[in-house]
């Protein structure tokens, strides 16, 4: 699946970000190859979300370089929209547009950004809605759906832009337990289809089945990067070991 000729999809080097005096991200170096699946985990406040939100510039970094699909991404740059169109994002709280039907949520991006005709965009959107197994809800409004259904719609909405990479920011954290499996299922299918993915999650089962690498963050730094089996069975650092034992304890 990995394409060795093209540049890596995401290249982050020496990236730093502060909130006031608080160092949110410090000296982050991470490269994500095409087709690769990376799971980021770590305690809350460790900078996981901030890191992936830097990739599509929902947060602006202050130092270091960031390249997405070979293009330099700088804070406050013109034309950031073009880069965002290649980067799909799924949020913890879904963030569907409540005043539009499910179908219109999906159609909006392709119509406005790609100049696609409404009819063609609808066709595309229905395809993705079927993929996330929710096509029968196309004409409902988001508040009428369960959390799990909303999150699957959110995934389909991001896919509708036909992005090169998908970012997931704790996609199952806001869901009731019985809803989680359906969302993870969709994400696994996506991974099997070869999508490049960066997933912030604590779902260890998912990480084991899907991830090529697990990135462990603490206090704004990357502490450890390892294949999932290795990371979960024999973490190299104490901080990772401590985090994993806490995760298992609850």
Partner 1 sequence: MTRRALPPAPPPRRLTMVDWLLFALVAAVLAYVVWRVNAVLVYNWEWHRVLRFVVRVDPDTGQWIANLLLQGLFTTIRLAFWGTILAAIIGLIMGYWRTCNSLALRILSRTYVELIRNIPPLIFIFIFYFFIASQIFPAMGLNNINTSSPWVDNAFFRFAFGDPRLFTNFLTGLICLALFEAAYITEIVRAGIQSVQKGQWEAGRAIGLSRWNLLRDIIFPQAIRKILPPLAGQFITLIKDSAIISLISVQELTFLATEVAASTTKVFETWILVGAMYFGLCYFFAFVFARLEERAGRSNHR
Question: Contact residues for partner 1 (CB under 8 A)?
Answer: 56, 58, 81-85, 87-89, 91, 93, 95-99, 108-109, 112-113, 141, 143-144, 154, 157-158, 160-161
> What's the min distance (Å) between Cβ of 248 and partner 1?
31
Least distance in angstroms from the C-beta of 238 to partner 1: 35
User: Whole-angstrom Cα distance, residue 235 to residue 149?
Assistant: 35
Measured from the CB atom, the residue of 30 and 159 that comes closer to partner 1 is 159
> How far is the C-alpha of 113 from the C-alpha of 161, rounded, in Å?
8
DSSP conformational letter for 69:
T
Instruction: Name residue, tokens 């954290």.
Output: 173
Rounded to whole angstroms, the Cα distance separating 181 from 183 reads 5
Task: Name the residue nearer to partner 1 (CB basis): 160 or 187.
Answer: 160
Q: Quick one: three-class SS letters along 204-225?
A: HHHHHHHCCEEEEEECCEEEEE
Q: How far is the CB of 165 from partner 1 (least distance, A)?
A: 12
Nearer to partner 1, 166 or 204 (CB): 166
The terminus-to-terminus CA distance of the chain in angstroms comes to 37
143 token code pair = 């508040």
Looking at the Cβ atoms of 18 and 141, the one nearer to partner 1 is 141
Of 80 and 244, the one with the shorter C-beta distance to partner 1 is 80
Q: How far is the CB of 118 from partner 1 (least distance, A)?
A: 13
Least separation in angstroms between CB 87 and partner 1: 8
Alpha carbon of 99 to those of 109, 117, 152: distances in Å?
A: 15, 21, 18
Written as six digits, the tokens of 139 are 């004409």
Name the residue nearer to partner 1 (CB basis): 143 or 177: 143
Which residues are CB-contacts of 124 (< 8 A; sequence separation ≥ 6)? 106, 110, 116, 160
Closest contact distance (angstroms) between CB of 184 and partner 1 is 21
Least separation in angstroms between CB 161 and partner 1: 6
The token duo for 228 is 């999932």
Q: What residues contact residue 160 under an 8 Å CB cut-off, 6+ apart?
A: 106, 107, 109, 110, 121, 124, 125, 128
> Closer CB to partner 1, residue 102 or residue 204?
102
């Amino acid at each position: 699946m990995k394409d060795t000729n093209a540049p890596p999809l995401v290249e982050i080097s020496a990236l730093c970000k502060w909130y006031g005096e608080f160092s949110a991200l410090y000296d982050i170096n991470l490269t994500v190859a095409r087709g690769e699946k990376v799971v980021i985990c770590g305690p809350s406040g460790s900078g996981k979300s901030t890191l992936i939100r830097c990739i599509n510039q929902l947060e602006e970094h202050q130092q270091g370089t960031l390249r997405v699909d070979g293009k330099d991404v700088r804070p406050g740059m013109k034309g950031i929209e073009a880069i965002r169109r290649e980067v799909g994002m799924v949020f913890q709280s879904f963030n569907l547009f409540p005043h539009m039907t499910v179908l219109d949520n999906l159609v909006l991006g392709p119509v406005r950004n790609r100049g696609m005709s409404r009819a063609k965009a609808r066709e595309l959107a229905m395809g993705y809605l079927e993929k996330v197994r929710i096509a029968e809800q196309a004409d409902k409004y988001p508040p009428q759906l369960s959390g799990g259904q909303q999150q699957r719609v959110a995934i389909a909405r991001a896919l509708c832009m036909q992005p090169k990479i998908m970012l997931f920011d704790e996609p199952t954290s806001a869901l009731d337990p019985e809803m989680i499996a359906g969302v993870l299922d969709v994400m696994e299918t996506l991974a099997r289809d070869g999508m490049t993915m960066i997933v912030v999650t604590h779902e260890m089962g998912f990480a084991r089945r899907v991830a090529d690498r697990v990135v462990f963050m603490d206090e704004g730094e990357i502490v450890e990067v390892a294949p999932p089996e290795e990371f979960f069975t024999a973490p190299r650092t104490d901080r990772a070991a401590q985090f994993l034992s806490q995760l298992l304890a609850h």
